């Protein structure tokens, strides 16, 4: 690479080679995020409306729904193990090739779901196979989003890290939006066609997204910060030991930050549909209600990068805390309005919940989680914070929420209290973490172990240095 000019030093995106790599990294992360959330949103939408009918005994429909949500939760149980396994590889071998492997595993499992026989055809083996595919899907997804988050944070220019790190998460909204649109369209089919072959089509279509993502990621270059680790021979020999000793405070705080964002997301994306059906009855128009998820994803396409950019100016914690408090205040009126059984009102409630409450936290989170961890174990740290919280928040939300609906007869107040509790945990967590704005990502120490004064010094730093920490 040629020596950078004064303009390029002030704005690294002025360097054509850097700008090209940044665009490639953004595209690679976005397509993977779109595939992951297309699959997960599609699975979530199918859980309450299709899988409970096709893959479980119908002797007790309410318990069949609970069992279907349990398989949904199984995917979250697999994610921490995938994050642990691939996180170690990402910190030892690099970010690029781990992302190639995870997209193949995750997308392949999702495609295979579209080929599974139903309970009527093979009995108990139907849910067994469904759980197996869900485990594989979750295992790959456990490192996919962490890898995309780390990749973009390490590629992004320091002073615009919040904005650039949030751009791939448009893929999350695009994937969720695409899943909602596709699901809305297939539910227009006659019920017999929907339950026989229609539901399989979007799962099988995942195969084409795999090919696109794979083509882009193979051409991607390794991130600058990982190259620095290799150059200075500072790659962690025992990243698992490091993350569960020195890095544990960062993981715990990261989990707390994710409780409202992740749990709230899956409550609005999937549980709200099951709750609405419990209120209105089985005659509920399923295709109409999924437009709430579509609206939320459409809002998120704008709200995620905007809140990421705002965090570049006002700090990660300030913006994150706004989103958590908004969800706390929104929880009670939202679930009460859903209990009214009005389609238009419910679509608006779900859209605002996803598009504003959830995504006001997701925007700053894209840069904040990678900034919490040192360079030696960043991939693993982000993966553990994301995926352990996914089990505690997202996975549990479906199972516990479905159980609350079943045993309480659809009590909206209990669901509102549940969501408010998640929001309180996240609000409290924003007071436990130092401001990470513009933190030097080549540092080897974690942000949560640094005094506020020292973190403040990082905000004004304009140069990148390697700091060797004595172990």
Look up the CATH number of the domain holding residue 386.
Answer: 1.20.1250.20
Q: Is the CB of residue 429 less than 8 Å from the CB of residue 253?
A: yes
> According to the model, what pLDDT value does residue 463 have?
32
Locate all alpha helices (DSSP H) within 339-451, ordered by sequence: 343-352, 359-372, 378-389, 396-408, 412-429
Residue 471 counted as domain residue: no
| 11 within some domain | no
Domain count, the chain: 1
CB 162 within 8 A of CB 312: yes
The answer as to whether 46 is a domain residue is yes
- Cα gap 434→448, rounded to integer Å: 6
Backbone torsions φ then ψ of 430, nearest 5 degrees: -70, -15
Distance of CA 206 to the CA centre of its chain: 18
Contact 17, 1 (CB under 8 A): yes
Q: What is the pLDDT of residue 8?
A: 43
CB 345 within 8 Å of CB 276 = no
Tens-digit pLDDT string for the chain (471 aa) = 444 443 444 455 566 777 777 888 888 788 777 877 787 778 877 876 788 778 877 777 777 777 777 777 787 788 889 888 988 888 888 887 888 888 888 888 888 988 999 888 888 888 888 888 888 888 888 788 788 888 889 888 899 999 999 988 888 778 877 887 888 788 788 878 888 888 888 888 888 877 887 887 877 777 888 888 777 766 767 788 888 888 899 999 999 999 999 999 989 987 888 888 788 776 667 667 778 888 998 898 899 999 999 999 999 999 999 999 999 999 999 999 999 989 899 999 999 999 999 999 999 999 999 999 988 889 899 999 988 888 888 777 777 888 888 888 878 999 999 999 999 999 999 999 999 998 999 888 888 864 444 444 443 333 333 333 322
**Coil, helix or strand at residue 468:** coil
Q: What is the pLDDT of residue 454?
A: 42
C-alpha–C-alpha distance, residues 273 and 46, integer Å: 10
The C-alpha torsion from 403 through 406 and 411 to 415, rounded to 10°, is: 20
The domain in which residue 113 lies consists of: 26-459
pLDDT at 459: 39
Q: Answer yes or no: is 464 within a domain.
A: no
- Backbone Cα Rg of the chain: 22
d(CA 261, CA 426) in angstroms, rounded, equals 8
Helices (H) and strands (E) in the chain, counts: 25, 0
- The conformation of residue 451, written as its DSSP 8-state character, comes to -
Token pair for 303: 């709200």
Q: Is residue 75 part of a domain?
A: yes
Q: What is the pLDDT of residue 451?
A: 43
Q: Looking at residue 245, what is its pLDDT?
A: 86
Q: How far is the first Cα of the chain from the last one, in angstroms, to the nearest whole number?
A: 34
List of residues 6+ apart from 147 with CB closer than 8 A: 32, 86, 90, 95, 98, 99, 102, 379, 383
Q: Confirm whether 465 is domain-assigned.
A: no
pLDDT confidence of residue 349 = 95
Count other C-beta atoms under 10 Å from residue 218's C-beta: 12
H helices of 272-353, where?
272-280, 286-289, 291-314, 316-338, 343-352
Residue 363 and residue 162: Cα distance in Å, rounded? Answer: 8
DSSP code, position 156: S
pTM greater than 0.85: no
Contact 37, 172 (CB under 8 A): yes
What is the structure's pLDDT at 16?
Answer: 74
Tokens of 181: 């649109």
3-state secondary structure of 437: coil
CB contact at 8 A, 348 and 292: yes
| DSSP annotation of 220 | P
How far is 273 from 284, CA to CA, in rounded Å? 10
- Give CA–CA dist 390/263, Å, rounded: 7
Question: Is residue 10 assigned to a domain?
Answer: no
Q: 8 in a domain, yes or no?
A: no
| Alpha helices, DSSP H, located in 205-290 | 206-218, 224-231, 239-243, 248-266, 272-280, 286-289
Containing 32, the helix (H) or strand (E) segment is: helix 16-46
What string of DSSP letters covers 357-385?
IIHHHHHHHHHHHHHHS-GGGHHHHHHHH
């Amino acid at each position: 690479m040629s020596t950078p000019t004064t303009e390029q030093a002030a704005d690294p995106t002025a360097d054509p080679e850097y700008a090209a790599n940044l665009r490639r990294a953004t595209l690679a992360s976005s397509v993977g995020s779109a595939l992951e959330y297309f699959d997960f949103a599609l699975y979530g939408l199918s859980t309450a409306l299709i899988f409970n009918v096709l893959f479980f005994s119908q002797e007790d429909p309410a318990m069949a729904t609970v069992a279907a949500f349990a398989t949904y939760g199984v995917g979250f149980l697999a994610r921490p193990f995938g994050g642990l396994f691939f996180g170690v590889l990402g910190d030892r071998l690099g970010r690029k090739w781990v992302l190639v492997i995870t997209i193949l595993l995750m997308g392949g499992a999702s495609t295979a779901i579209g080929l599974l026989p139903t309970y009527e055809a093979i009995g108990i083996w139907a849910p067994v196979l469904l759980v197996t595919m869900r485990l594989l899907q979750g295992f790959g997804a456990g490192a996919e989003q962490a890898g995309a988050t780390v990749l973009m944070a390490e590629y992004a220019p320091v002073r615009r890290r919040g904005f650039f790190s949030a751009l791939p998460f448009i893929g999350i909204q695009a994937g969720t939006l695409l899943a909602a649109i596709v699901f809305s369209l297939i539910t227009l089919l006659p019920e017999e066609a929907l339950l026989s072959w229609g539901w399989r089509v979007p799962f099988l279509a995942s195969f084409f997204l795999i090919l696109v993502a794979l083509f882009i990621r193979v051409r991607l270059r390794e991130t600058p910060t990982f190259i620095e680790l290799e150059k200075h021979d500072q790659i962690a020999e025992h990243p698992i030991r490091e993350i569960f000793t020195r890095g544990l405070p960062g993981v715990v705080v990261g989990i707390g930050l994710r409780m409202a964002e992740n749990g709230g997301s899956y409550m609005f994306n999937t549980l709200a549909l099951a709750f609405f059906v419990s209120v209105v009855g089985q005659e509920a128009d399923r295709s109409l209600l999924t437009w709430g998820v579509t609206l939320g994803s459409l809002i998120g396409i704008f709200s995620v990068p905007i809140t990421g950019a705002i965090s570049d100016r006002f700090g990660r914690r300030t913006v994150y805390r706004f989103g958590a408090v908004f969800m706390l205040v929104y929880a009670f009126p939202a679930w009460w309005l859903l209990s009214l059984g009005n389609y238009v009102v419910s679509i608006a409630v779900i859209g605002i919940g996803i598009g504003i409450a959830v995504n006001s936290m997701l925007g700053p989170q894209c840069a904040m989680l990678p900034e919490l961890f040192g360079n030696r174990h960043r991939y693993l740290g982000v993966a553990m914070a994301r995926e352990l919280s996914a089990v505690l928040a997202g996975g549990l939300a479906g199972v516990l929420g479905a159980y609350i609906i079943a045993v309480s007869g659809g009590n909206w107040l209990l669901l509102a209290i549940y969501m408010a509790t998640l929001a309180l945990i996240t609000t409290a967590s924003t007071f436990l973490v130092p401001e990470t704005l513009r933190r030097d990502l080549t540092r080897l120490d974690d942000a949560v172990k640094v005094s506020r004064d020292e973190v403040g010094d990082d905000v004004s730093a304009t140069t990148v240095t390697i700091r060797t920490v004595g172990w």
